[in-house]
Structure formats: structure tokens, C-alpha cells
């Protein structure tokens, strides 16, 4: 029976000491199809433990520089209702002050770390996993196990696109995001067998991987909330944009050729500025020089705005909520790269493509200018 019901999000706030207006956000949903032992309750357990640990730290006199927001979403299974409504209600605040969103849908069904992010956070995620021990490798880290388990022999960070509660943050606001889990066999997805017995006797005996995921989540949040300069490496993003341009050009097929040279050249300019910035900030951090708080805040605001530059207020023609120029989900949850052009090709609306390419070129050039200004401020 269909009915209208109230959604209830639960929000906890750990106030920042230096930049309390800036929000580092972590979220997990608590609604489930049936019992939800793994999806989402393992993630909810991790979020609650992080809240407990941070509360203890605050009582002992520790306080993050930026505010940490912990969100327990309702109605994720109902079209991401809780997180999307909260983002829409707080849109102006998030556009101004949203730093990063970290999503934890399901914490752990096995030993294999599976991490995804907006490209700018990929290197940060890799580095943070090096600091968390993995229970299956004595003296080894989550990073070590990640590399060992990978078919490529590298710590592969997935690009994330609109399948869970990070969707509104990344593709509506333009916030950098992380999504993660510890994977294992999961044949009980969305069924009555995804329960406490399955979690405790089959998926994660002793809850070792759930503990590891919790430790990693806490460290990610603490580092993001306290970093003097936000660890946003946009050279990876520019490279992803260049790869997306190449892929979308191949999508057309032999019947009609498109070449997105304006967007490609702008992405190359972005890559050049981002690479120079990352070398400069690397030298700065090694030198152990200090940056006064006001100047650091200005630099970080510019870096946050680079991600915002990847959005256009217009949104997709048929789904205006999705404002991101590089990523959007198809209705099937499959990825759309350069979604405006992707959908124009699918609809054979060839005359729209030059305008959409111009939007991309402007966005990439805005990103380059923002990074150049960050470099001047450093």
C-alpha cells in the first residue's frame, strides 16, 4: 500500500575551532529493504562509533579546525530521499562552505577495500589508507592489502557517479566526494538474509573489517577537517576530463564525427595549472613554512570552488537537478561522462553539442584560473 510518510534525518555536529563555518560531512543511511545487516547497518555502526570517538576527543580537549557534520540519512532506498532533501534545504550553505562529503553506505562484508572518489581526492584516499592497519596483514596497512588484492597491482580509485547518498553533493552542488566499503561475497543483497546472523557468522567474523572501516572513516574526516591546505589534486581531474573527451568522441561512431578541440585545449590548460600548483604546494609543505589562517582560508576556498566550477546552473535538459558537467548517472545508474553531450548524442540533437562544448571549455578555464589564483596566494 502506498502512503506518504515523514523522512527523519539525524544530524550531529562537531564544531570547528578555526573555521567553524566550513563543513566536512560524512553520511550513511539507516533505512533498509528488510533487516539491512550489511546495507546499511554496518555503515550506521561505523558512523555511530566515529561519533562516539570524536565526542571523547572533544571532551579531552581536542577540536577540529573545521566543523565535522555526521549525518544519518532516512529514505535512501526511496530514491535517495533523505540526503537529497537535506542538500536542497541547505544548498546555499553547501555551495559556500561545503568542503567534502564522505559516504559510507555499507561498511564491510569482507577484506577487500573498495574506494571511489571525485578525481581530486584519489591521491588523498590512497595516502590515508596507508595509515590504517589491515587485520589480515600483520604490520601491513589497508593500502598494502588494496594493492595486493588488485588485478593491476595498484590501488585503483574508482570514479563515482550517482548511485547512493553522495549523488546530490557531487552532481547537484559540486562538492568533492569519497565513497568506500570493504567488499566480500554478498549474495544476500536487499534480501531477508542480510541480517545480523549473516554479518556476524559469515561476512565479518569478529567485525574486524567493520572496525577497520571505522578507523579509516575517522582518520579521513580528521585529516580533512585539520589540513592546512586541502588535499585536492586537480591534475587527476583534468586527466579524467581529457579521457572523457576522448571516450565521448568515440561514442558517436562512424556515421558522424565530432571533435571537441575547444574543451580538450581548455582541459590541457587546466592540467598545466594544476600540475604546477601541486609541485608548488608540495615544496611548501616540505619546507614546513606556515601560512597565516586568513590566507590559508582564502586558498582553500579557491580550491573548493574548482569543483563548483564543474557545474552549470542550467542542469541537464531532461533532469535539471543534475548540474555537473563531467558526471551524471543514467537512470540505470550507469555512468554518463560529459552528460550534456552524451545525452545530445543519444537524442541525435547535434546542434546542441557546440553549446555544451563551450560550457565545458568555460568550466575548465575557470578551474585553471582558480588554481592560478591559489598559487599566487601561497
Q: Supply the residues annotated as catalytic.
A: 76
User: How many angstroms separate the most distant Cα atoms in the chain?
Assistant: 67
Interatomic CA distance for residues 232 and 310, integer angstroms = 14
- 257 SS3 class: coil
Strands (E), the chain: 10-14, 19-29, 66-73, 98-103, 112-117, 158-159, 176-183, 327-329, 335-337
> Phi and psi dihedrals of 157, rounded to 5?
-100, 120
If phi > 0 it is left, if psi is from -120 to 50 it is alpha, else beta; for residue 237 that is alpha
Going by C-alpha positions, the residue among 163, 178, 165, 200 that lies closest to residue 35 is 200
- The answer to whether 104 and 213 have CB atoms below 8 angstroms apart is yes
Q: H or E element: which one contains 279?
A: helix 261-287
> What is each CA distance from 122 to 9, 41, 324, in whole angstroms?
29, 26, 19
Crossing angle for the helix pair 261-287 and 234-251, to the nearest 10 degrees: 160
- For CA atoms 342, 348, 252, 355, the dihedral sign is negative
Interatomic CA distance for residues 196 and 28, integer angstroms = 18
Going by C-alpha positions, the residue among 52, 99, 370, 48 that lies closest to residue 226 is 99
- The answer to whether 199 and 126 have CB atoms below 8 angstroms apart is no
Q: How many CB atoms lie within 10 A of CB 201?
A: 9
**DSSP code of residue 291:** -
- 158 SS3 class: strand
**DSSP code of residue 200:** I
Q: Residue 219 burial (CB < 10 Å; 0-12/13-18/19+)? A: middle
Amino acid at each position: 500500500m502506498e502512503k506518504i510518510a515523514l523522512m527523519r534525518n539525524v544530524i550531529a555536529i562537531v564544531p570547528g575551532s578555526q573555521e567553524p563555518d566550513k563543513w566536512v560531512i560524512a553520511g550513511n543511511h539507516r533505512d533498509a529493504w528488510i533487516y539491512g545487516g550489511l546495507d546499511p547497518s554496518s555503515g550506521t555502526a561505523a558512523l555511530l562509533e566515529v561519533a562516539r570517538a570524536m565526542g571523547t576527543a572533544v571532551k579531552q580537549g581536542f577540536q577540529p579546525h573545521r566543523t565535522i557534520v555526521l549525518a544519518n540519512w532516512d529514505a535512501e532506498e526511496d530514491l535517495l530521499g533523505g540526503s537529497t532533501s537535506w542538500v536542497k534545504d541547505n544548498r546555499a550553505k553547501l555551495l559556500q562552505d561545503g568542503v567534502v562529503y564522505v559516504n559510507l553506505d555499507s561498511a564491510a562484508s569482507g577484506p577487500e577495500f573498495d574506494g571511489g572518489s571525485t578525481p581530486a581526492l584519489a591521491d588523498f584516499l590512497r595516502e590515508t589508507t596507508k595509515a590504517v592497519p589491515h587485520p589480515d596483514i600483520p604490520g601491513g596497512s589497508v593500502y598494502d592489502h588494496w594493492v595486493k588484492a588488485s588485478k593491476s597491482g595498484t590501488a585503483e580509485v574508482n570514479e563515482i557517479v550517482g548511485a547512493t547518498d553522495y549523488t546530490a553533493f557531487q552532481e547537484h552542488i559540486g562538492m568533492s566526494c569519497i565513497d568506500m566499503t570493504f567488499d566480500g561475497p554478498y549474495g544476500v543483497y536487499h534480501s531477508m538474509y542480510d541480517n545480523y546472523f549473516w554479518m556476524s557468522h559469515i561476512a565479518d567474523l569478529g567485525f574486524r573489517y567493520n572496525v577497520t572501516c571505522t578507523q579509516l572513516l575517522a582518520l579521513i574526516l580528521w585529516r580533512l577537517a585539520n589540513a592546512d591546505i586541502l588535499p585536492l589534486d586537480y591534475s587527476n581531474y583534468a586527466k579524467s576530463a581529457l579521457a572523457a573527451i576522448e571516450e565521448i568522441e568515440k561514442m558517436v561512431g562512424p556515421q558522424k564525427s565530432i571533435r571537441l578541440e575547444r574543451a580538450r585545449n581548455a582541459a590541457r590548460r587546466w592540467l598545466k595549472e594544476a600540475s604546477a600548483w601541486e609541485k608548488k604546494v608540495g615544496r611548501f609543505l616540505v619546507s614546513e613554512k606556515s601560512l597565516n589562517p586568513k590566507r590559508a582560508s582564502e586558498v582553500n576556498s579557491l580550491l573548493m570552488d574548482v569543483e563548483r566550477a564543474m557545474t552549470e546552473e542550467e542542469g541537464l535538459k531532461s533532469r535539471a537537478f543534475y548540474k555537473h558537467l563531467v558526471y551524471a548517472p543514467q537512470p540505470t545508474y550507469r555512468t554518463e561522462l560529459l552528460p550534456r553531450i552524451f545525452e545530445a548524442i543519444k537524442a541525435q540533437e547535434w546542434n546542441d553539442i557546440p553549446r555544451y562544448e563551450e560550457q565545458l571549455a568555460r568550466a575548465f578555464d575557470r578551474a585553471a584560473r582558480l588554481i592560478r589564483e591559489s598559487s599566487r596566494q601561497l
